[in-house]
Structure 1
């Protein structure tokens, strides 16, 4: 464990980025953080290197991703169907089942060394959820958790019509995280009709736009959520804007 704590987190807005490109980008940063941690094992505490932290925001073109515990049959499209919907499909190394990413959805990938914050994956997941719950509260939505399920939900108390507004799935190794959350802001919800979202057959999916009855500025949501994350994790955010092409 690195005894030198680094609360600085470099924020990078990747814009609209192809899923595979973003995945490769994450993997590169993730590997760099792991490499520093391995180097530190052979160094005295007073000369150990600070491990970097990153927070990536982006949107993706239409894509379905299946986590390690997911079932391929939860994708209801064949190859021709994917082509017709101009969507791609990847099996990936996060936890969870199948989900959809697309334009109008705010995707967040925290690549954090939890030794800099707290070494508790359960707490990490709940803290991500809390940041999203508080952000949705800024728009007058009473969001929360459904017992036994990850992500953020509406009608989470009485559960007469519970509907997921944010999906989550993470990977962690040596207390370094990757993957993250996908918050439906102005998402085309019809694309969820071609999967069993997160393997859950009896609950709906929603978005900020669907709940409020009008589109919401993506930049505004991103700024609010970024601020909530910074407070809850006690981050010192430093912004780097990245221009990307797909």
Structure 2
């Protein structure tokens, strides 16, 4: 199956991005458009997922956008690669949990190309690196599935201003810091990271195509 791969130049307006993503998802379900991976950067902002706790919005120094994805508060801004995935799970197994696990492994493999040992942690959605006092979150995952088409996706910290995460309790996990590729000593450009993502995309599709066991239509997963 062909998947359109788009990289947006500059900074993409968040509200416009959500509207475009929802329109594309509806067109996919209607058989009027194909699947799409859309890579963007946003100006500094916070998003509130469906489980957001107002007490975790500590300092709303940037615009706050309510969003339909699962999870709590997260930050988007320059230096962070955000990937929006509009994929048809009706044609790819109807297994939301398997979709998320495949997505995690795609990002983990991509970070591994740059010498970063990343992993998923049971009970914590997202991508993690380091151990003990050095354990930190380097990537967030927040999705929504509507009529078996996926919306939203992932965010990986390439070289954002990590102080901007201080306005929220990121994803409700205040006991853990956030990190970035730059903070880990990896000088990686956005285009370089995008190329690695695309190179590992066949792995993601391969994993997604494997046997799937559980399904949850319209599921919401936390960041």
The question of a shared fold, defined as TM-score above 0.5 by the shorter chain, is answered with yes
Which residue of 2 is the match for residue 75 of structure 1?
A: 57
- Within 5 Å, give how 1:107-118 maps onto structure 2: 107-118=82-93
Residues 130-158 of structure 1, C-alpha deviations (whole Å, 9 max, x = no match):
11111111111110011101110002xx4
Q: 1:168 aligns with which of 117, 141, 146?
A: 141
2:1 is aligned with 1:19: no
Structure number with greater Rg is 1
Kindly indicate whether the alpha-carbon contact (under 8 Å) linking 1:59 and 1:105 is maintained by their aligned counterparts in 2. Answer: yes
Give yes or no for contact 1:128–1:229 (8 Å, CA) kept in 2.
Answer: no
> Which residue of structure 1 aligns with residue 26 of structure 2?
31
| Distance (whole Å) between structure 2 residues aligned to residue 230 and residue 68 of structure 1 | 31
Unaligned runs of 5+ in 2: 208-223
1:78-106 deviations in Å (ceiling 9; x for gaps): 4xxx2xxxx21101100011100000000
Superposition RMSD in Å = 1.6
Out of 179, 184, 205, the position equivalent to 1:206 is: 179
TM-score (norm 1): 0.80
What is the aligned residue count?
206
Question: Is 2:88–2:150's contact at 8 Å kept on the other side of the alignment?
Answer: yes
Q: For 1:218 and 1:76, locate their aligned partners in 2 and report how far apart those are by CA, in whole Å.
A: 29
- Say which SS state the counterpart of residue 183 (structure 2) adopts: helix
Deviation, 1:230, is 2.8
Secondary structure (helix, strand or coil) at the match of 2:69 reads: coil
Q: Say if 2:77 is the partner of 1:102.
A: yes
SS in 1 for 2:174: coil
- SS of 1:90's equivalent in the other structure is strand
User: Which one is further off, 223-232 or 131-140?
Assistant: 223-232
Listed as ranges, the matches of 1:52-67 within 5 Å are: 52-67=34-49
**Runs of 5+ unmatched residues, structure 1:** 1-6, 37-48, 236-246
Partner Cα distance (1:232, 1:215) in 2: 25
Q: Residue 59 of structure 2 contacts residue 166 of structure 2 at CA under 8 Å; is this kept in 1?
A: no
Counterpart in 1 of 2:218?
A: none
Q: Does 1:153 align with 2:125?
A: no
Whole-angstrom CA distance in 2 between matches of 1:131 and 1:141: 13
Checking the alignment, whether the CA contact within 8 Å between 1:161 and 1:203 is kept in structure 2 is no
> SS of 2:134's equivalent?
coil
Give the aligned partner of residue 40 of structure 1.
Answer: none
Matches of 1:146 and 1:11, distance apart in 2: 29
- Partner Cα distance (2:55, 2:206) in 1: 41
- The one of 196, 214, 222 aligned to 2:194: 222
SS, match of residue 208 in structure 1: coil
Residue 71 of structure 2 corresponds to residue 89 of structure 1: no
Aligned partners of 1:122, 1:105: CA distance in 2, in Å?
Answer: 25
